[in-house]
Structures are given as structure tokens and as C-alpha cells.
């Protein structure tokens, strides 16, 4: 099972459309972690599931969404209302309450994956305004339920792999 995870495009639609056309045939889930600055009726939301970011003016986006892929529940939240700059404590509390193994968040514009207490905290970075690198990034997440492994494969916005950010984990129950 493969998911695309993208965040913080801040008004740009070009890369969301391009990524969709590249992975359309192999990806089953499309996650957007907020600060799109797009309106609710944008056709991109037919595919991508999004949440409200601090820069979103559209009323229709929720602060959190929970999605399930291959039996694994995932919490999507931008993170600004969960104090994500301070710690993962608020997101972790919500993930445990909802039985989520994965948390996808944005807001910091810093591409990184952290694991705490078996919960994955996954930030794809900002596709348009990266704070820690020259070029925006996104993730193709690949989960293999047979081998119980999950890979977070980062790509820059020219779709070249970013090896130093990408990681594979064994999922333990």
C-alpha cells in the first residue's frame, strides 16, 4: 500500500497536480497536512484528504481527520493547534485516544520522521517553502503488511529521491 503525503503548498496547485499524475496508478491514498490556502471546492480535494492549517481561510476544513489504510489508522492534523513546535505530546494524546499508529502533520516546514512509543510522527516538509533545505519535499509512504515494514521515501519537488531523509522501519505490535 502506498500513500502520498504532502503539505504546506501555500496556494500552489502545480505540484499537487503533477504528483497526482505521476503516482495515480500506484498510490491508493492522498494525504495533505494543511496550509493549502485553497478553497473547499478545489477539484484536488476529490483525491487529497486535507485539514485546516493556520493560513487556511476556507471554513470547510476540519482540524483533524482520521483515515484508515490496510487496517492502520492515521491521524492527519496541521499541528498548529496541537502545539507541534513545542512537542508531540498533544498529537500523541490524540493518536492514542483514536488508536492511530501514524500521525501526519505539517506546519513546521521541516521534513522529518520521529517515532515515539511506537507512533510515527511524519512531516513531509513543505513543497513550496522548505525551512531546512533548498527544495521542497513530499513523501511516498510504502507499507508492507506481510513483512511489517514501512518506508517513508522522500522526494524533492523535481521528483528526485532524497536519500538522507528516507527511512524504513519495522513495525512492532
Binding site for Mn ion (CB under 5 A): 8, 35
Strand 137-144 relative to strand 2-6, pairing:
antiparallel
Closest CB 109 distance from Mn ion, rounded Å: 6
Closest CB 35 distance from Mn ion, rounded Å: 4
Minimum CB distance to Mn ion smaller for 37 or for 167: 37
Ramachandran class of 37: left when φ > 0, alpha when ψ lies in -120 to 50, beta otherwise: left
Minimum CB distance to Mn ion smaller for 7 or for 143: 7
Find all residues with CB under 8 Å of 51, minimum gap 6, and list them: 32, 33, 34, 61, 62, 63, 64, 65, 76, 77, 78
Minimum CB distance to Mn ion smaller for 35 or for 156: 35
Shortest-Cβ-distance residue relative to Mn ion: 35
Closest CB 151 distance from Mn ion, rounded Å: 25
SS3 for 62? Answer: coil
Closest CB 9 distance from Mn ion, rounded Å: 9
Amino acid at each position: 500500500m502506498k500513500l502520498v503525503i504532502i503539505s504546506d503548498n501555500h496556494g500552489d496547485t502545480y505540484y499537487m497536480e503533477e504528483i497526482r499524475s505521476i503516482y495515480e496508478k500506484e498510490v491508493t491514498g492522498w494525504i495533505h497536512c494543511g496550509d493549502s490556502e485553497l478553497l473547499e471546492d478545489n477539484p484536488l480535494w476529490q483525491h487529497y484528504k486535507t485539514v485546516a492549517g493556520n493560513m487556511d481561510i476556507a471554513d470547510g476544513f476540519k482540524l483533524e481527520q482520521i483515515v484508515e489504510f490496510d487496517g492502520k489508522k492515521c491521524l492527519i492534523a496541521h499541528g498548529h493547534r496541537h502545539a507541534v513546535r513545542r512537542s508531540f505530546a498533544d498529537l500523541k494524546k490524540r493518536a492514542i485516544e483514536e488508536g492511530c499508529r501514524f500521525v501526519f502533520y505539517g506546519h513546521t516546514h521541516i521534513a522529518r520522521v520521529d517515532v515515539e512509543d511506537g507512533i510515527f510522527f511524519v512531516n513531509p516538509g513543505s513543497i513550496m517553502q522548505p525551512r531546512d533545505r533548498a527544495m521542497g519535499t513530499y513523501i511516498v509512504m510504502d507499507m508492507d503488511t506481510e513483512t511489517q515494514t514501512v518506508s517513508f521515501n522522500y522526494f524533492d519537488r523535481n521528483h528526485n529521491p532524497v536519500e538522507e531523509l528516507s527511512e524504513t522501519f519495522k513495525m512492532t505490535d
